[in-house]
Amino acid sequence: MATKDADLSSLRIDRSSQGAGAPRKSRSIVKLLIWLLVLAALFVGGTFIKELVNPGVEVQLVTASLSSPLQASAVLTASAYVVARRKAAVASKGTGTLVFLGVDEGDRVKKGQVIARLEDSDVLATLQRARENLHLVEADLHDAKQSEERSRALLKQGAVAQAEYDSVEARYKRVLAAIDAAKFGVREAEVAVENTRIIAPFDGTVLKKNADVGEIVAPMAGAAGSRGAVVTIADMSSLEVEADVSEANITRVTVDQNCEITLDAYPQQRYLGSVSKIVPTADRAKATVMVKIRFRKYDQRVLPEMSAKVAFLASGSASPGETKMLLTVPASAVAKRVGQQVVFQVKEERAVEVPVLIGQKFSGLVEIKSGLKEGDRVIGKVDEQIKAGAKISLKK
């Protein structure tokens, strides 16, 4: 009975502490991961905020390009256009339908060459009739001349009266006059035929076709739908440049002054020239004076109506024939770092230092002998903030 009364509760198995270590270990790992994620988020966020707060040094880029040292001696620069001194809109003297056009844009023509032809059947018929009339009166000439000679001989012998001889002589003179009139009629018909032929007035190049086969051509293009000029031609050996110079600056320009001409189409190419004429009148509306500049030498790239810029050079400047194009950047783009001349390019929003060898300086530019090539873009103004690896942002 004592055994029955014994406290059996002491024989129970205590499961409260079994497995408690595993959950505690899992919670520690989770807490560690959470802290790592928080730290990573803080790092990324801090970096992002730093980038927003410090977007980088704001700069503008410039391009390494070819320049002429003569720019340093330019006293004036003006906009201009290439023109041809000899240029003509070739038209017809007659009116008719264009039946032949033998040239196209860019074709070269010679003086006297037939460029086009109008329908000419009517004027050819008139010419043929005039020639037949001439043959007819010329046939009467032989008989009239013989009659006049016989009458003169008989008059000397007293065999005919003076009145009879006068009648024969008058007939002979009428035949001569008729021949002259017939010849004039033939020449008039020939001119009418020539007027249907459109001839090149000088050696040149066709710039534009103003009419096509089948269109009506008239000297003054008065009729509706008619054309005046058939083609426009220019003598490409007579090209020059016309510049509008402000009245306030015209005193800086003189005849025979050396100039440097730059075509907008080929900015890397320079052409040498000189002032040939200052037109003695001003444009009231624009307050400018026209100045004409002749080329010293030019090539086939120079075309009429091209826009250009003209640099008027100071007297006593370097001989234009001895200059050559130099690769340049603005002087503000070059800096000295650790005893070496450098420029900075931008790659992946970072400044990259590029050592260069510089040459002469002129007009705010500096020659780059090595380290860059034409077309490379560099930071235009370098200061102490610009260093290798510095974050860069471009100005809009």
Q: State how far the Cα of 290 lies from the Cα of 157, in Å rounded to an integer.
A: 83
**Confidence at residue 83, expressed as pLDDT on a 0 to 100 scale:** 96
**Confidence at residue 132, expressed as pLDDT on a 0 to 100 scale:** 92
**Confidence at residue 363, expressed as pLDDT on a 0 to 100 scale:** 74
**Confidence at residue 160, expressed as pLDDT on a 0 to 100 scale:** 81
Kindly give, in sequence order, each residue whose CB lies less than 8 Å from that of residue 317, ignoring residues fewer than 6 positions away: 70, 73, 258
**Confidence at residue 347, expressed as pLDDT on a 0 to 100 scale:** 92
Enter the DSSP assignment of 272. Answer: E
Q: At 177, phi and psi to the nearest 5?
A: -65, -40
**Confidence at residue 152, expressed as pLDDT on a 0 to 100 scale:** 85
**Confidence at residue 2, expressed as pLDDT on a 0 to 100 scale:** 47
CA proximity to 89, closest of 169, 5, 200: 200
Length of the chain counted residue by residue: 396
Residue 197 pairs in a beta bridge with: 117
Averages of pLDDT over each 10 residues, the chain, 396 residues: 50 51 65 76 60 70 83 84 94 88 93 93 92 89 85 84 86 89 92 91 93 85 67 94 94 92 88 94 94 94 94 71 75 91 92 91 86 92 88 81
Would you say the pTM of this structure is higher than 0.85?
A: no
- Strand duo 288-295 + 307-313: pairing: unpaired
**Confidence at residue 352, expressed as pLDDT on a 0 to 100 scale:** 92
**Confidence at residue 248, expressed as pLDDT on a 0 to 100 scale:** 92
- Strand duo 335-337 + 340-347: pairing: antiparallel
CB 206 within 8 A of CB 96: no
**Confidence at residue 1, expressed as pLDDT on a 0 to 100 scale:** 45
**Confidence at residue 346, expressed as pLDDT on a 0 to 100 scale:** 92
- For the chain, domains (ranges, CATH) are 58-69+325-394 (2.40.420.20), 70-86+238-322 (2.40.30.170), 91-119+196-234 (2.40.50.100), 120-194 (1.10.287)
**Confidence at residue 208, expressed as pLDDT on a 0 to 100 scale:** 92
CB 388 within 8 A of CB 353: yes
Q: What does R_g of the chain's alpha carbons equal in angstroms?
A: 48
